[in-house]
């Protein structure tokens, strides 16, 4: 405790007392300004534009026409695909984020066992996180199609695999499976978190008679809970934005079983050329993500353990 | 009834521990194989003759290879143009993003100026804005500004997408460097720019590599903006170009897989080169943050 207080003091010490404070603030402002301009031009500006467009009817060719809240009214009353796409994305988010955390932590625990050649395996586990997008979508078509390699392997153990991507009940689970393939991205962070857990804590737990399971629940899990929380937030935000896979592989089918929210938005905006309606969908997505993040942060106060919280 | 002497218990524990380690390694290797296999399968399927692709049961080690698919895809489709465009856009994004990220992270990490904490929060909160929300308004704005259908426009967007994460990771790396080092340099008459270039950047090399890689892959994989913003055939990037295959039923599957494997292999080579820096740099920033 004494050490952390001391380092906190060092940190709060003025950067360089002898130099002119004003000049220093100007330098900082100068450094941050390009990013600030980008922030205004690519985040705040577009968000405000999206709010405005969501109140209009706009097909790019004719000028935007103000129509009040009717886009939102249509969304909540007559657009069945809105609810369907919301359901698809929510199911996908729940499945991929929860399973992704369990699997990611599990793999990190495996690699944390003082394994020889850890760098090699870590690279292997992380590989899928760097290859994504369109090419991977084609890869999955190859693996998951009816006569694909996965079903061939399932055949060896006597299971008659379904047509994963193109049957109504299996398409979404197949997408969750694809997301789990990329679990290594999160795993690297868990692994770093695990390696930061002080060994004294485990020794102390051993003296108190804790077994492996007790150590995991009472030491490991609380200590890496900030990393889990970080991945949870990023995962929820990311999974509501899934687009490429659905666009390439299924186009939302079969029977809208993989009509992800952003896919619906894209079709409305860029194929039906309804920019106003698409913007309204975007605004609602923004609200959903804000709400989920807010709830997650509220819950995190009770569930996540931060070391040196007093800071 | 069997008696347990200390020696026999000890032997038993050693055996058990050995069994556990073997099980551990088997699990790890198995997971690795499962993860790498689909990529292997993609490449293999581009290398085997077209008619063998849908053979049942599949051949894990095809009897004959041929590079025809690669030759054909390069001759029949503007693959090389797409590849060049993707490299231009990705490299441009890396360059622009690095400059902005270094400046931003330096300002957030090194100066005790007012409003700093608020800006750092704003930075994180941009992560919550879904790019799907931004794509329509940015498209509309770019159309007015004449930036649609140009690589510059795409580079700016890709940079905007990657900068928040990059600044965050770099800020984490800069924060770990003791201020005494910079203080000493100032005392020796070094300028602020000199401290940044000669001290901070070399000391945070892993994080720099990490953010450069993230910027590269953000641009390389980006699909939504690229498909909406680029209209001319000649300016198309790889991710969009390759997506046009699926509609054309005439394109033989082994050609599609050949194209997809080129798209995957190019960044893999890049990844293999910088892997060592990437993972340590990534985790340093994230665990601290």
**Chain B, window 59-98: residues with a beta carbon less than 8 angstroms from a chain A beta carbon:** none
The Cα–Cα gap between B4 and B17 comes to 18
Residue of chain A whose alpha carbon sits nearest to that of B254: A142
Residue of chain A whose alpha carbon sits nearest to that of B131: A241
> Does the CB of A37 have a partner CB in chain B at under 8 Å?
no
**Chain A, window 77-136: residues with a beta carbon less than 8 angstroms from a chain B beta carbon:** 107, 110-111, 113, 115, 119, 121-128, 130-136
B-chain CB neighbours of A275 within 8 Å are 136, 140
Between residues B247 and A11, the one the model is more confident about: B247
CB contact under 8 A, B264 and A126: no
CB contact under 8 A, A28 and B111: yes
A227 — pLDDT class (breaks 50, 70, 90): confident
The Cα–Cα gap between A268 and A281 comes to 9
A134 — pLDDT class (breaks 50, 70, 90): confident
CB contact under 8 A, B126 and A39: yes
Is the pLDDT reported for residue A76 higher than 80? yes
CB contact under 8 A, A286 and B284: no
- The length of chain A in residues reads 311
Reference B163, options B205, B197, B129; nearest CA is B129
Residue A9 confidence (pLDDT): 42
What parts of chain B have a pLDDT lower than 70? 1-4, 49-59, 62-64, 111-112, 127, 246-251, 279-289
Residue B86 confidence (pLDDT): 93
pTM for this model (two decimals)? 0.83
A278 touches A269 (CB < 8 A): yes
- The CATH-assigned architecture of domain A70-303 is Orthogonal Bundle (1.10)
Between residues A174 and A59, the one the model is more confident about: A174
What are phi and psi for residue A56, nearest 5 degrees? -125, 170
Kind and range of the H or E run holding A34: helix A21-39
Mean pLDDT of A252-275: 91
- Interface confidence, given as ipTM, is 0.79
For residue B106, the distance in angstroms to the closest alpha carbon of chain A comes to 7
* Beta-sheet pairing, A65-66 with A56-57: antiparallel
A6 — pLDDT class (breaks 50, 70, 90): very low
Burial class (CB in 10 A: 0-12, 13-18, 19+), B49: middle
Is the pLDDT reported for residue A88 higher than 90? yes
CB contact under 8 A, B130 and A240: yes
Average pLDDT score over chain A: 84
A114 — pLDDT class (breaks 50, 70, 90): confident
Domain boundaries, chain B: 6-52, 68-288
Domain boundaries, chain A: 70-303
A8 — pLDDT class (breaks 50, 70, 90): very low
B-chain CB neighbours of A286 within 8 Å are 128-130, 133
Burial class (CB in 10 A: 0-12, 13-18, 19+), A295: exposed
Residue B279 confidence (pLDDT): 65
**What is the token pair recorded at A122?**
């870590």
For residue B200, the distance in angstroms to the closest alpha carbon of chain A comes to 15
Burial class (CB in 10 A: 0-12, 13-18, 19+), A288: middle
Is the pLDDT reported for residue A116 higher than 50? yes
CB contact under 8 A, B130 and A126: no
Rg of the Cα atoms in chain A: 24
What count of other Cβ atoms lies within 10 Å of the Cβ of residue A122? 21
Residue B54 confidence (pLDDT): 56
A-chain CB neighbours of B45 within 8 Å are 142
Burial class (CB in 10 A: 0-12, 13-18, 19+), B30: exposed
Residue A176 confidence (pLDDT): 95
For residue A282, the distance in angstroms to the closest alpha carbon of chain B comes to 4
**What is the token pair recorded at B284?**
């340093």
3-state secondary structure at position B48: coil
Fold of B68-288: MetI-like fold (1.10.3720)
Residue B246 confidence (pLDDT): 67
What are phi and psi for residue A66, nearest 5 degrees? -70, 125
The Cα–Cα gap between B87 and A288 comes to 35
Residue B2 vs residues B5, B8, B9, B88, B247: alpha-carbon distances, Å: 10, 11, 12, 74, 72
> Does the CB of A6 have a partner CB in chain B at under 8 Å?
no
The sign one gets for the Cα dihedral A160, A164, A166, A170 is: positive
């Amino acid at each position: 405790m004494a050490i952390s207080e001391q380092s906190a003091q060092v940190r709060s010490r003025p950067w360089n007392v002898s130099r002119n404070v004003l000049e220093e603030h100007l330098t900082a402002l100068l450094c941050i300004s390009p990013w600030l301009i980008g922030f205004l031009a690519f985040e705040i500006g577009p968000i405000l534009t999206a709010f405005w467009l969501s109140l209009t009817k706009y097909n790019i060719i004719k000028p935007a026409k103000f129509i009040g809240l009717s886009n939102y009214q249509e969304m909540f009353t007559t657009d069945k695909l809105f609810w369907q796409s919301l359901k698809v994305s929510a199911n996908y988010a729940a499945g991929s984020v929860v399973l992704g955390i369990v699997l990611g932590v599990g793999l990190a625990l495996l690699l944390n066992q003082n394994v020889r050649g850890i760098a090699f395996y870590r690279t292997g586990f992380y590989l899928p996180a760097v290859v994504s997008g369109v090419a991977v979508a084609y890869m999955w078509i190859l693996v998951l199609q009816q006569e694909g390699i996965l079903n061939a392997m399932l055949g060896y153990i006597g299971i008659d695999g379904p047509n994963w991507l193109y049957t109504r009940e299996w398409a979404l689970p197949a997408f969750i499976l694809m997301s789990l393939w990329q679990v290594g991205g999160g795993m690297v962070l868990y692994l770093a978190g695990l390696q930061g857990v002080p060994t004294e804590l485990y020794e102390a737990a051993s003296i108190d008679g804790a077994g492996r399971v007790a150590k995991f629940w009472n030491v490991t899990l609380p200590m890496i809970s900030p990393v889990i929380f970080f991945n949870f937030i990023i995962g929820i935000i990311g999974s509501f934005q899934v687009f490429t896979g659905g666009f390439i592989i299924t186009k939302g089918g079969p029977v809208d079983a993989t009509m992800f929210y952003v896919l619906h938005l894209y079709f409305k905006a860029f194929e039906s050329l309804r920019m106003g309606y698409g913007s309204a969908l975007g605004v609602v997505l923004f609200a959903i993500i804000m709400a989920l993040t807010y709830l997650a942060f509220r819950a995190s106060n009770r569930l996540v353990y931060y070391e040196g919280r007093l800071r | 009834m069997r008696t347990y002497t200390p020696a026999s218990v000890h032997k038993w524990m050693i055996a058990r521990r050995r069994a556990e380690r073997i099980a551990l390694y088997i699990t790890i290797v198995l997971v690795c194989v499962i993860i790498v296999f689909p990529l292997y399968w993609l490449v293999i399927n581009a290398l085997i003759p077209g008619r063998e692709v849908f053979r049942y049961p599949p051949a894990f080690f095809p009897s004959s290879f041929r590079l025809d698919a690669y030759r054909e895809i390069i001759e029949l489709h503007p693959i090389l143009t797409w590849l060049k465009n993707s490299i231009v856009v990705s490299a441009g994004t890396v360059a622009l993003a690095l400059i902005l990220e270094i400046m931003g992270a330096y300002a957030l990490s090194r100066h005790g100026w007012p409003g700093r904490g608020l800006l750092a929060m704003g930075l994180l909160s941009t992560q919550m804005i879904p790019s799907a929300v931004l794509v329509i308004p940015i498209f509309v704005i770019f159309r007015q500004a004449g930036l649609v259908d140009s690589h510059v426009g795409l580079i700016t967007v890709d940079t905007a997408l990657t900068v928040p994460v990059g600044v965050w990771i770099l800020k984490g790396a800069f924060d770990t460097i003791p201020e005494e080092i910079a203080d000493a340099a100032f005392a020796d008459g070094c300028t602020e720019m000199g401290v940044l270039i000669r001290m901070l950047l070399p000391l945070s090399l892993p994080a720099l590599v990490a953010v450069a890689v993230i910027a590269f892959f953000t641009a390389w994989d980006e699909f939504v903006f690229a498909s909406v913003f680029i209209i001319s055939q000649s300016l198309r990037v790889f991710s969009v170009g390759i997506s046009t295959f699926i509609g054309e039923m005439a394109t033989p599957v082994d050609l599609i897989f050949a194209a997809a494997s080129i798209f995957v292999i190019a960044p893999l080579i890049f990844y293999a080169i910088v892997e060592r820096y990437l993972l340590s740099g990534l985790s340093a920033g994230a665990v601290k943050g």
